[in-house]
Structure 1
Amino acid sequence: MISFFRKIRQKLLSQNRVTRYLAYAVGEILLVVIGILIALQINEWNQQRINKKISLQLHQRLLEDFELIEIRTQSSIADATESMELISFALLCFDQKSIPKGEEVKFDLAIRQFYRFTYPALPMATYDEMKSSGKLDLIYNLEVRNQLNAFISLLESTELILGNAGQSIQNNLIYYDKYIRSETNAQSLNLSFSYDFEKMARS
């Protein structure tokens, strides 16, 4: 088509028909512009199709992350509840500087919780990847995107609270370590504790 316009243009120039030449020149330019616009539109359609495919994949990965979060959270709640009950019992014994009769095993378990208090990192790899790569806008539903951002803020706040709780427990350990002795069995590698409550009573 462009070669056709070129032949007409050359013919018009040879005949000194400038007006018609300009008309055909403009037509040739418009033809090129239309071709570019069509190519750009096709490219945009292809990009939208690719983005939709990526969006579906990311949505699926987010769902998998949330399923794992639900499982870990339920397990963590049970573990944390047990740990905090035991730690509270240990602190009560420390305050009273004595172990209730028959509760020695429970106290031993409680002491271990001071050293084992942890909270699991929840899997948000997909969200982190989307945020770092600028793909959060591939969650086209604005309400879902806002809820996801709110959930991430909640996670960050929860991690801060748990981190402070862990630090508080560690701070207590610094004080009570003066009265607790831990020993590891060389053969079984089991950890055992001994306590000096008489020393605590004098402090």
Structure 2
Amino acid sequence: MRLFRKISKKLLISGKFKSYVVYALGEILLIVIGVLIAWKINNLNELRKNRIVEVKIYESLHEELNSNLVLLDSSIASYTKNREAIEATLDLIMTEQQDELGTDEKNTIINVDYKPTQLHTGAINSVNTTNKFEFIEGVLLKNLIAAYPNELDNFENQEAKIKNIIVNRLQPAIEKYVSLIDILTKREFNINRLQTFSVESNYAQLLKSREYQNCLVDRLLQTEIQLTNAISLREKTQIMAFQLHKELSN
């Protein structure tokens, strides 16, 4: 810059005003070009930093969604199995041979197996509740990510309904007619001792119980709703995972 000042000063002193003006304009042009280059470099650095953050967000979301796909596959299989077991019990209620139940049929009647599906929500909630959402580029992906927490809430609420039916209604209804010791496996007690201390259960009366029947029907309805929810949520999770995979491949 000092060299430029000396040159412009000499031109001004020598009276070469036209040359001075041309030189001054050239100097201004060089400064403008330098500023533009610096701005461009800074802008490229910002874009690079943003892309790094964006990729990290996509990677964490993609990993979480893939884990949820595995969990949803398992839950769909579980809900399908539970629905079939409930329908089999309802068929038993309609039969006239309730006093001649086999071991497998009794096990089906008192089946309260239920394992809630705990989907991962950390990454998706982090994106939706922080400025990370601003780094998402695709409009479709943004819409999917914004809507996903509501889908998860609906899924969790339905899980809670099923759990409430089983724990607070179905289990107490079963315990009125079936000895809890019947539910224990034979490997936990000697079979002879089990028969000695077991209080007789009345499965036929259980099947005729209106309370039990109502709980069973309610559980079936809520399980079917949750099965539909799980299938729908899996499809949306799959779409999101696919979109994220595309973004990571770019």
- TM-score of the aligned structures, taking structure 2 as reference length: 0.53
Relative CO higher for 1 or 2, CA cutoff 8 Å, sep ≥ 6? 2
Shift of 1:42: 5.4
- Structure showing the higher strand proportion among its residues: 1
Match of 1:74 in 2: 73
Residue 57 of structure 1 and its aligned partner are, at CA, apart by 1.9
* SS of residue paired to 1:179: coil
Is this contact kept in 2: 1:90–1:111, CA < 8 A? no
In structure 1, runs of 5+ residues without a counterpart are: 5-30
Alpha-carbon distance in structure 2 between the residues aligned to 1:153 and 1:109: 34
**For the residues of structure 2 that align with 1:160 and 1:180, how far apart are their CA atoms?**
30
Instruction: Provide structure 2 residue ranges, at least 5 long, that are not aligned to the other structure.
Output: 4-30, 211-250
Taking only the aligned residue pairs, the percentage that are identical comes to: 19
Q: What is the aligned partner in structure 2 of residue 63 from structure 1? A: 62
What's the CA shift string for 1:144-195, capped at 9, x where partnerless? 11022223322221221232122122233223322222234696389x9963
Shift of 1:107: 2.8
Q: TM-score, normalised by structure 1?
A: 0.63
Alignment map for 1:100-179 (pairs within 5 Å): 101-112=100-111, 114=112, 116-172=113-169, 173-179=171-177
Runs of 4+ in 1 over 6 A off after TM superposition: 35-41, 94-98
The answer to whether the 8 A contact 1:89-1:107 is kept is: no
SS in structure 1 of the partner of residue 180 of structure 2: strand
Distance in 2, matches of 1:56 and 1:94, equals 56
CA distance in 1: counterparts of 2:209 and 2:70, whole angstroms:
47
Q: Distance in 2 between matches of 1:82 and 1:185?
A: 21
RMSD (Å), alpha carbons: 4.3
Could you say what secondary structure the match of 1:118 adopts? coil
Q: After TM superposition, list the pairs within 5 Å mapping 1:31-46 onto structure 2.
A: 45-46=44-45
- How many residues matched? 179
Do 1:55 and 1:138's aligned partners in 2 also have CA atoms closer than 8 Å? yes
Deviations 1:91-135 (A, max 9, x none): 6657989747354313314423x1x31221112322122234321
8 Å CA contact retained: 2:50, 2:135:
yes
Which residue in 1 is equivalent to 2:28? none
CA contact (8 A) 2:64 2:123 kept: yes
**Range with greater deviation from structure 2 (53-62 or 146-155):** 146-155
State the one-letter code of the partner of 2:130: S
